[in-house]
């Protein structure tokens, strides 16, 4: 678990770092906004603790920049107590949580842990249709809790169907995307593979997610069958 602290008060940064390291985290510190930004881009942190008042670019700017770049690492913002900076503003710029200075160390750790838990379930852009899920990053397919083994070709086919779940896709499109435009073989290959898929993702579960659209192609039921 790696944490980045962006905080210009050196002794505070040092104290927090020591404490968090004692808790078992790996900690990097940055004393300016630009340095922090740079580090955040370099490394995939699990949480960033970001002070608002910083020399150079302030915390809001750092946060907004990261979000604009598509970086959704959980950010915990530190606001001055009765601060001129509003908590709402912190959340608006894309922070996930905030903490008013001065804060108790225990609370800080608790908040960081919470963010980590939350951040865990965040991104993975999983393709879903009902209880049928497919995670391209993990290269894994599930029907509910059951993991289903698919060959590369089957995986690609299901991925394509899932991408257009609920819509019908033509056999031509399927061949173009799954086999490539240059495929010269028997188009019957699609039927064969749809058969394989049904045998793996439908039949054992008494479902019927891959529907035949006669004369057109196939359609994956949006609700997974």
Partner DNA sequence: GCTTCTCTTCAGGTATTCTTCAGGTTCTCA
Partner DNA sequence: TGAGAACCTGAAGAATACCTGAAGAGAAGC
Which structure tokens are listed for 155? 């995986």
145 binds DNA (CB under 7 A): no
C-beta of 25: minimal distance to DNA in Å? 17
111 binds its own copies (CB under 8 A): yes
Of 174, 170, 163, whose CA–CA distance to 213 is shortest?
170
Cα(142)–Cα(133) distance, rounded to whole angstroms? 5
Q: 168 contacts which partner out of DNA, its own copies, none, CB within 5 to 8 A by kind? A: its own copies
Adjacency order of strands within the sheet including 140-143 = 127-129, 132-135, 140-143, 146-148
Three-state DSSP at 37 gives helix
186 binds DNA (CB under 7 A): yes
Q: 194 contacts which partner out of DNA, its own copies, none, CB within 5 to 8 A by kind? A: DNA
Mark residue 94 as left, alpha or beta (left: phi above 0; alpha: psi -120 to 50; beta: remaining).
left
The dihedral built from the CA positions of residue 45, 51, 54 and 58, taken in this order, carries a sign that is: positive
State which residue, 181 or 186, has the beta carbon closest to DNA. Answer: 186
Which residues make up the interface to its own copies (CB under 8 A)?
A: 1-2, 22-26, 41-44, 46, 69-71, 104, 106-107, 109-111, 113, 120-121, 123, 125, 135-140, 151-152, 156, 159, 163-164, 166-168, 173, 176-177, 180-182, 213-216, 219
Which residues make up the interface to DNA (CB under 7 A)?
A: 149, 151-154, 171, 179, 184-186, 188-189, 191-195, 198, 212-217
């Amino acid at each position: 678990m790696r944490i980045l602290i962006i905080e210009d008060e050196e002794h505070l940064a040092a104290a927090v770092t020591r404490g968090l390291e004692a808790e078992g985290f790996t900690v990097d510190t940055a004393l300016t906004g630009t340095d922090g930004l740079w580090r955040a881009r370099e490394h995939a942190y699990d949480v960033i603790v970001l002070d608002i008042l910083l020399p150079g670019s302030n915390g809001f700017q750092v946060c907004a920049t990261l979000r604009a770049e598509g970086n959704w690492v959980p950010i915990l913002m530190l606001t001055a107590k009765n601060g001129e900076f509003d908590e709402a503003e912190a959340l608006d710029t894309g922070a996930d949580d905030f903490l008013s200075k001065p804060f108790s160390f225990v609370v800080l750790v608790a908040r960081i842990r919470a963010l980590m838990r939350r951040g865990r379930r965040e991104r993975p852009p999983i393709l879903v249709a009902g209880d049928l899920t497919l995670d391209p990053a993990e290269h894994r397919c599930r029907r509910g809790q059951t993991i289903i083994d698919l060959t590369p070709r089957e995986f690609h086919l299901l991925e394509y169907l899932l991408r257009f779940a609920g819509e019908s896709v033509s056999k031509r499109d399927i061949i173009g995307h799954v086999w490539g435009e240059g495929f010269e073989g028997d188009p019957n290959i699609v039927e064969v593979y749809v058969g394989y898929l049904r045998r793996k993702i439908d039949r054992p579960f008494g479902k019927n997610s891959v529907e035949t659209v006669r004369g057109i192609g196939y359609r994956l039921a949006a609700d997974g069958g």
